[in-house]
Structure 1
Amino acid sequence: MQEYIQDAMTFMREYGRPCFFLLGTFTCNPKRPEITSLLLPGQNAIHRHDITARVFKQKFKYLISFITKLHVFGPTRCWIYSVEWQKPGLPHAHILICFINKIHPEDIDSLISAEIPDPSTDQLLFDIVTTNMIRGPCGALNRSSPYMVDGKCTNRFPKDFTNDTVTHVDGYPIYRRRSTDNGGQSFIKTISNADIDIDNRWVVQYSLLLSKTFNAHISVEFCSSVKSIKYICKYVNENY
């Protein structure tokens, strides 16, 4: 891992500190038919790490190729990643992509969204986002959520409503999350036999293109901070 960190910092010295996409997590989807079709009666994905590992590797390789060879977001200069295994047994990857052409703040909304899609215009994306990209809910709505530590959400959800995306001083933007009064969407999610109204405050930021292509949890960040390198390399095992 120490050698990997040195390689990552070499990228920074060579190419400077350009704009990055930080794919915060590309997580294996345990409900994919490639996994469920191979499970024995009574099994689920955590019982067959061999299957989940193979399927994840295939999808992950295609994701990297999709971005770096097809240039769906533009020509790429370099990329690094680390793969982690969560305690329940599902792998996920953290990825940094450096593009040749810088991404400007005014382009963020066309590439990254933190809002629930309108089901009347894109039912498929609505289903994918509401299934894969909703955090919790946690906090007062669900204190048993695995994201809760000492009574607080570790990812600081729910986020605040905002009508415009704002680039932040720490290198990460505050993404547009409109309230239902200002054109935002919401839906009802049932948790512990209770119907909860979920709005944009609970959406994990995502790429419309990547979500529709891979139908998985793929959180995406726009960042230009050296801290992202440290985040990529800090650990390979995560327990929660």
Structure 2
Amino acid sequence: MCILPATFPGNPRYMHARTQDAMTYVRKYGRPDLFITFTCNPKWYTIAKELMPGQSAYDRPDLIARIYHLKLGKLMDVITKDQVFGPVCCRMHTINWQKRGLPHAHILIWLCDKTEATEIDHLISAEIPDPSADPELYEIVTTNMIHGPCGSRYNYTSCHNSDGKCTR
């Protein structure tokens, strides 16, 4: 029998230690102000340009991991160094790999200047952009940010359970 130490990533002791770290942040700073999910897009140009003819992003987990970590680092720089949401007291994240083989990060951000929900609503919106005012943004949002199509009219998709119903 081999008992892995808490310093070995991914094992139960490691995960317990990270949970304790998160609870320490909550005790000191309160609840996190932002919960951000950052998902890898296999259509990113930096991924697509490195693929050989006939290859898909799913054939290159090494490439996916490397580019994803670079982009995640840039996102964290924008949040912490550029202070796009204001000064950050602390942060933590975890990276998971989805069923189809792509990573996504769950990021918790504690801001130094506490904000009200109404203030956050001025920074973040969930609207589909006007296609005539900003066609490029409209294309990005409708292509990448909307779930579907799914349902009985469409062939099997990854969001369907065994009864053929969408689980999202």
TM-score, normalization by structure 1 = 0.59
| Correspondence 1:4 to 2:8 | no
* Deviation of 1:106 (Å): 1.8
| Correspondence 1:67 to 2:52 | no
User: Larger Cα Rg: Structure 1 or Structure 2?
Assistant: 2
| Correspondence 1:77 to 2:98 | no
Unmatched segments (≥5 aa) in structure 1? 156-240
In 1, Cα distance between equivalents of 2:26 and 2:65: 31
Moved more, 41-50 or 123-132: 123-132
In 2, Cα distance between equivalents of 1:73 and 1:139: 37
Amino acid at match of 1:20: D
* Deviation of 1:141 (Å): 5.2
| Correspondence 1:89 to 2:101 | yes
Higher relative contact order (CA 8 A, sep 6+): 1
Amino acid at match of 1:135: H
Match of 1:22 among 20, 35, 39: 35
In 1, Cα distance between equivalents of 2:119 and 2:153: 34
| Correspondence 1:115 to 2:131 | no
Match of 2:166 among 153, 157, 160: 153
In 1, Cα distance between equivalents of 2:57 and 2:137: 24
Query: Who is 2:46 aligned against?
Result: 34
Query: Who is 1:169 aligned against?
Result: none
Query: Who is 1:126 aligned against?
Result: 138
Amino acid at match of 1:15: Y
SS of the residue corresponding to residue 41 of structure 1 reads coil
SS of the residue corresponding to residue 148 of structure 2 reads coil
* Deviation of 1:109 (Å): 3.0
TM-score, normalization by structure 2 = 0.83
In 1, Cα distance between equivalents of 2:16 and 2:79: 27
Percent identity among equivalent residues? 52
Give the conservation status (yes or no) of the 8 Å contact 1:77–1:98: yes
SS of the residue corresponding to residue 104 of structure 2 reads strand
SS of the residue corresponding to residue 84 of structure 2 reads coil
SS of the residue corresponding to residue 131 of structure 1 reads helix
SS of the residue corresponding to residue 93 of structure 1 reads strand
Query: Who is 1:56 aligned against?
Result: 68
Q: Please give the residue correspondences for 1:222-233 in structure 2 after superposition, counting only pairs within 5 Å.
A: none
* Deviation of 1:110 (Å): 1.9
Residue by residue over 1:51-79, the C-alpha shift from the partner in whole angstroms, topping out at 9 and shown as x without a partner, is 11110010000101110111011111111
Rate the CA distance shift 1:106–1:56 in 2: closer, same or farther, 3 A: same
In 2, Cα distance between equivalents of 1:124 and 1:12: 39
SS of the residue corresponding to residue 157 of structure 2 reads coil
SS of the residue corresponding to residue 135 of structure 1 reads coil
Give the conservation status (yes or no) of the 8 Å contact 1:143–1:151: no
* Deviation of 1:151 (Å): 4.5
Moved more, 144-153 or 4-13: 144-153
